[in-house]
Structure 1
Amino acid sequence: MNFLDLSRMADTPRQVNQTAEDDFCTRLHAVGAEWWELPPSFEDRKHLGSEQFRCDTLEACFEPKIQFPYLIAWSEVEQVACYIAITQADSRDQAGLNLYHNAMDMDERCAAIMSPGGHWCRCKAGCPDLKDLAWRTRDRGPDGCHDPPLYIVDPEDPADPEQEL
């Protein structure tokens, strides 16, 4: 919810600013959102007669037009993506899936993803499974699949506060 900039406590009104709406859609794309045809077409359900319109939820009667096959999160601590195939997560650890869906932040989601055997992904080029996601500012570029240099702060040297290891 924080990643999408949505309130957990109240309805978030739709953005009237097109730039803000586009940014929201990009964040949705970054987490592998499903794309639905709305309004749904009931043509394929005509054989059900009066029951064709009886759906408790959209998911009960229709499939998304585009469904991303992975659970994904963007770790704030690691500054990378973590992901697992939904089928793999579903078959291994239902409790982990519950943790994923109830996580308060992306790092908790990564912990739930890594528990049943998820993967870390440092850049788009290194993870062809995630090539269709919007990487926003997380992609380290064509040569960015290596680990970035590690910096430490040297409190003894105020002239050179960062020292590369």
Structure 2
Amino acid sequence: MTDKPENPSTSQDEEKGASGAASPLPSLPLSPASSASPASPESPSPRENWSFPKLIALITSILILLLFGNYARKTHQHATHPKLGHNCTLPTRRYDIYTGYASCTPSSGGTWISPLGPLELQHLSINRFSSTERSQNREGENHFCQQLRQFGGSWYGPGALNQLWTGDTCNELSALVPEVAFRREVGFPADGGVWVLTESKRGFPEGMAMVRNALTMEERCSALETLGAVWCESVQQCPALWDLGREPHRLVPRGFRKGISAMWSW
């Protein structure tokens, strides 16, 4: 029995199949969609795109807050420390509710200014809750000045107007130096007379809060008596009120008179 010869083509195919199973598969090229494209260094992120505008907005907000704060501070200072007047002059009202000063202009010249409390305002028949305009009647204004001077205060001559301006700034009243000043506390008891407590070279005695805390004129007089005030039968006969017998410009110390001699005849 003869063997059947092998088919050469069949053996070749088997060899090809065997060799094909053993050989690795060829790598296929990736499509552009599936390939990982490298990140471009030139393209900024969204956070980087918004960083500069946000920085500008932040700086602008800070500048606005600083400008507004400066304006509010100046407005507060103007309200707390008012200037002498809208036109930078000495007080022109009998009483100004915004400054707490009472003032008058005697016919002899100048301006008399006194800081008054509620009991003093009440004694002078001045409204404590609103400003009061000055009297246009010369006799009435002189009479009010004489009453106002009983409570002490300061007198500013016509030359004080030159002290108001420093460059382009209007000074406050506390920056001016008066030519005449008297510091005293006065009380008028109901049964007549007057209590006068004058400041000494060492100042007022301790316990002056008693005078400020008085709710009535009688309490004020009692406090003044406790602190060592002088009692007089009348204002006209009171040595402690000697200055009321002279016009303010006559009370100016000799050192000041040289500066105002051209405005006053002696």
Tell me the TM-score normalized by structure 1.
0.57
Larger Rg: 2
In 1, the alpha carbon distance for the partners of 2:183 and 2:173 equals 19
Alignment counterpart, residue 58 of structure 1, candidates 158, 161, 173? 173
Residues 36-94 of structure 1, C-alpha deviation per residue, up to 9 Å, x if partnerless?
A: 23544339x97xxx5x9474x312x222221124322322x23111111223794422x
> In structure 1, what is the Cα distance between the partners aligned to 2:163 and 2:182?
23
CA distance in 2, matches of 1:103, 1:72: 12
CA distance in 1, matches of 2:228, 2:178: 26
CA distance in 2, matches of 1:105, 1:24: 22
Give structure 1 stretches of 5+ with no counterpart. Answer: 135-165
* 1:81 paired residue number: 194
Structure 1 residue 122 displacement after superposition: 1.5
1:115 maps to 2:226: yes
Number of the residue aligned with 1:4: 124
Question: What residue number does 1:141 align with?
Answer: none
* C-alpha distance 114-89 of structure 1, shift in aligned 2 (>3 A): farther
- Aligned ranges 1:1-165 → 2 under 5 Å: 1-37=121-157, 39-42=160-163, 53=169, 55=171, 57-59=172-174, 61-75=175-189, 77-87=190-200, 90-93=203-206, 95-96=207-208, 98-101=209-212, 103=214, 105-123=216-234, 127-133=238-244
Structure 2: how far apart are the matches of 1:64 and 1:107? 32
Comparing both structures, which one devotes a greater share of its residues to helix? Answer: 2
After superposition, the C-alpha distances for 1:106-148 in whole angstroms (9 at most, x for unaligned) are: 43432332232112111467642322226xxxxxxxxxxxxxx
Separation in 1, partners of 2:236, 2:140:
28
* CA root-mean-square deviation: 3.3
Whether the 8 Å contact between 2:154 and 2:180 is mirrored in structure 1 is yes
Is the CA contact 2:183–2:199 (under 8 Å) kept in the aligned structure 1?
Answer: yes
Over 3 Å counting, the alpha-carbon distance change for 1:129 and 1:37 in structure 2 is same
- Return the alpha-carbon distance in structure 1 between the equivalents of residues 122 and 202 of structure 2: 23
Identity, % of aligned positions: 23
Counterpart CA distance in 1 for 2:140 and 2:128 is 19
Higher relative contact order (CA 8 A, sep 6+): 1
Code of the aligned partner of 1:31:
F
Structure 1 residue 27, shift from structure 2 partner: 1.0
Change (3 A) 1:130 1:85: same
- What SS does the aligned partner of 1:20 have? helix
Q: 1:24 to 1:12 in 2, by over 3 A?
A: same
Q: Distance in 1 between matches of 2:214 and 2:162?
A: 33
Paired AA for residue 132 in structure 1: D
C-alpha distance in 2 between matches for 1:105 and 1:23: 24
CA distance in 2, matches of 1:89, 1:8: 32
